[in-house]
Structure 1
Amino acid sequence: MKAIAYQKFGNTEVLQTVKETKPSIQPNQVLIKVKAVSINPMDWKIRKGEMKLMSGSKFPKHTGADFAGIVEAVGPEVTHLKKGDAVFGVVKNLMKEGALAEYVAVSASLVWKKPEHISFAQAASIPVVGTAAATALQKMGTIKPQTKILVNGATGGFGMFLLQLLKQKGADVTAVSSTKGLAYAQKWGASNVIDYTKVDVLEESITYDIVVDLSGKMGYANAKRIMKPKSLFLNPIPQPIDIPTSLINNLFTGKKHVVILSSPSSKIIDTLRSAIDKDLQIEVNKVFPFEQTMEAYQYAEKGGYVGKIVVEIG
């Protein structure tokens, strides 16, 4: 089968199309004929060596975490899926595995039936950013109509889910986005929108109960300027040093730095499926064929787009 792999850390040029053996499955696994794989920032953080303490430096490495496709075979212990089912899911260890291949073998506990009314490209966009958004929502605690929330970098894949989940909670959300993302932020539920090309939110006089930095560019040190005395800064793109320093700093301030570490589970996916049934929209910005995987990552890594980028296979 064809797969995408790389033999060293680096930029998109290290990505190669390789021939590999079609994977076999364990009793608790399913074999998926992959139809679509979505792209996430973690893919290139790992590929560039930024996460090597966790990913290790053994090659070859593969890429792509969440996928959608058709069940090709099921292990004898699997009871909730059968051959021919349209499904979506995520690899167990994105530091070690990758879904960008014609076939992928994964634990059946990380595969779910695809909602019928969405495409494979949309389904492949759910697990990573959807789980992160649902986890961020949990970290926020009780949200009241008067809770003021700022979402910085609000119209990528994570923001797309988070804004709509917050809308279903009735939250008062200010979204910071590029000019072309403003209409989407409003459609997805933002009460207020700020165009970062025209306004520096850090220079505004408004303070917030919760600040979520999805761009990775604001940072906790800057965000404190627009946080209320008792407030939360949610960091879903932490550097390794952020985890211990946030725990220490939080002992001495009411402006808490909360690192978001998320892992897909059936409970979270059920929450997302319910939200999708209530008309949560999944915007796929652009779809690339498998042969243009390098171009897909080049496009994604430039940023500035709305929604998700997807690679389709076959």
Structure 2
Amino acid sequence: MKALAYNEFGTTAVLQTVELPKPTVKADEVLVKLKAFSINPMDWKIRKGEMKLMSGSKFPKLTGTDFAGIIEETGTSVTGLKKGDEVFGVVKNMKVGASAEYVAVTASLVWKKPSSISFTQAASIPVAGIAAVTSIQKMGKIDSQTTILINGATGGFGMFLLQLLRQQGANVTAVSSPKGLAYAKEWGADTVIDYTKENVLTEKVSYDIVIDLSGKMGYKNAKRIMNAKAIFLNPTPKTIEIPLSFFANLFTAKKHIVILSSPSTKYTDVLLNEVENGLQIEVNKAFPFTQYREAYDYAEQGGYIGKVAVEIN
């Protein structure tokens, strides 16, 4: 089977197609013939060597985390899934990858794809969607009096987060590029800010919760617009920030909370329920597998709405 792999850390130039044996399934696994996989910031952080402590430095490495496709084979102990089912899922181990024609994955990390969405939309759900659900849990009790700022609000993560927060009734301000403002309003933001015209850090407004999806604001800057007992949610931490934030929180009322999410049926059930209720999943662009470098270059430059995916025929 064809797969995307790399033998050293670096830019998209290190990516290459390789031939690998089709995976064999263990008793608790399913073999999925992929139709699409989506691209997430974690993919290029790992590829660039920024996550060595968690991903290791053994090569070759595959890339990609969440995917959608059709089950071709099930392990002997798998129930509830069968050959021919259209599904989506996620590979849990950073040392594995979903950028291949086939993937063998534990059945508990695979869910049936709703017929109302495409394979590229389904492949866009797990990483960003589960992170959004996790973030809301980290926010604690929120209501109409809770003021929330989302910086970089109209990428894949923000797309899910805004729509889920709308169900909570919180007062949400979304910071986005000009082309994302209408999407942010449609997805549930009460107030939108065009970052090309306004600097949210210089406005005389403070918030109970600040979440930086762009990775450009940082906790140090965010403290300037945080209320006395506010929290800063960081879904794109540098490795060193994970332990540092824990110790720093012992001495300050303005908390720095790192978001580390793990795939779970509990979280996915929330997202599937929202899909049934009309959750919008915007796939900004879907590239053919042969244009994988262009796909990753496009995703890494940012500035697009929703998610970027790669289709496999």
Please tell me whether residue 39 in structure 1 is matched to residue 39 in structure 2. Answer: yes
Please tell me whether residue 88 in structure 1 is matched to residue 88 in structure 2. Answer: yes
Please tell me whether residue 266 in structure 1 is matched to residue 276 in structure 2. Answer: no
Contact 2:4 / 2:99 at 8 angstroms: preserved in 1? yes
By how many angstroms is 1:204 displaced? Answer: 0.4
By how many angstroms is 1:6 displaced? Answer: 0.5
Residue by residue over 1:18-52, the C-alpha shift from the partner in whole angstroms, topping out at 9 and shown as x without a partner, is 11110101000000000000000000000001111
By how many angstroms is 1:249 displaced? Answer: 1.3
Contact 2:151 / 2:212 at 8 angstroms: preserved in 1? yes
Residue equivalent to 1:79: 79
Quick check: 278-287 or 239-248, which moved more?
239-248
Same amino acid, percent of matched pairs: 70
Contact 2:92 / 2:263 at 8 angstroms: preserved in 1? no
Q: TM-score of the superposition, structure 1-length normalised?
A: 0.99
Give ranges in structure 2 of 5+ residues lacking alignment: none
Residue equivalent to 2:120: 121
By how many angstroms is 1:141 displaced? Answer: 0.8
Residue equivalent to 1:17: 17
Residue equivalent to 1:7: 7
1:119 partner amino acid = S
CA–CA separation in structure 2 for the residues paired with 1:92 and 1:191? 35
CA–CA separation in structure 2 for the residues paired with 1:212 and 1:67? 26
Residue equivalent to 1:141: 140
Residue by residue over 1:267-304, the C-alpha shift from the partner in whole angstroms, topping out at 9 and shown as x without a partner, is 00001111111211000000000000110000001100
Residue equivalent to 1:193: 192
Residue equivalent to 1:205: 204
Residue equivalent to 1:298: 297
By how many angstroms is 1:134 displaced? Answer: 0.2
1:112 counterpart SS class: strand
CA–CA separation in structure 1 for the residues paired with 2:243 and 2:51? 16
By how many angstroms is 1:238 displaced? Answer: 0.7
1:32 partner amino acid = V
Residue by residue over 1:52-91, the C-alpha shift from the partner in whole angstroms, topping out at 9 and shown as x without a partner, is 1211111100000000000000001000100000000000
2:252 partner amino acid = T
CA–CA separation in structure 2 for the residues paired with 1:123 and 1:268? 15
1:5 counterpart SS class: strand
Contact 1:92 / 1:107 at 8 angstroms: preserved in 2? no
2:34 counterpart SS class: strand
1:291 partner amino acid = T
Residue equivalent to 1:223: 222
By how many angstroms is 1:250 displaced? Answer: 1.0
Residue by residue over 1:165-185, the C-alpha shift from the partner in whole angstroms, topping out at 9 and shown as x without a partner, is 001111110000001110100
Residue equivalent to 1:56: 56
1:205 counterpart SS class: coil
Residue by residue over 1:212-259, the C-alpha shift from the partner in whole angstroms, topping out at 9 and shown as x without a partner, is 000010000000000000111000001111111111111111111000
Contact 1:288 / 1:296 at 8 angstroms: preserved in 2? yes
- Aligned positions, number: 313
1:231 partner amino acid = A
Please tell me whether residue 239 in structure 1 is matched to residue 238 in structure 2. Answer: yes
Contact 2:78 / 2:107 at 8 angstroms: preserved in 1? yes
Contact 2:37 / 2:311 at 8 angstroms: preserved in 1? yes
Contact 1:177 / 1:196 at 8 angstroms: preserved in 2? yes
Give ranges in structure 1 of 5+ residues lacking alignment: none
CA–CA separation in structure 2 for the residues paired with 1:33 and 1:243? 36
Residue by residue over 1:1-21, the C-alpha shift from the partner in whole angstroms, topping out at 9 and shown as x without a partner, is 111001111100110011111
2:3 partner amino acid = A
Runs of 4+ in 1 over 3 A off after TM superposition: none
CA–CA separation in structure 1 for the residues paired with 2:264 and 2:11? 31
CA–CA separation in structure 1 for the residues paired with 2:184 and 2:52? 34
Q: TM-score of the superposition, structure 2-length normalised?
A: 0.99
1:69 counterpart SS class: strand
- Indicate the RMSD between aligned Cα atoms, in angstroms: 0.6
1:187 counterpart SS class: helix
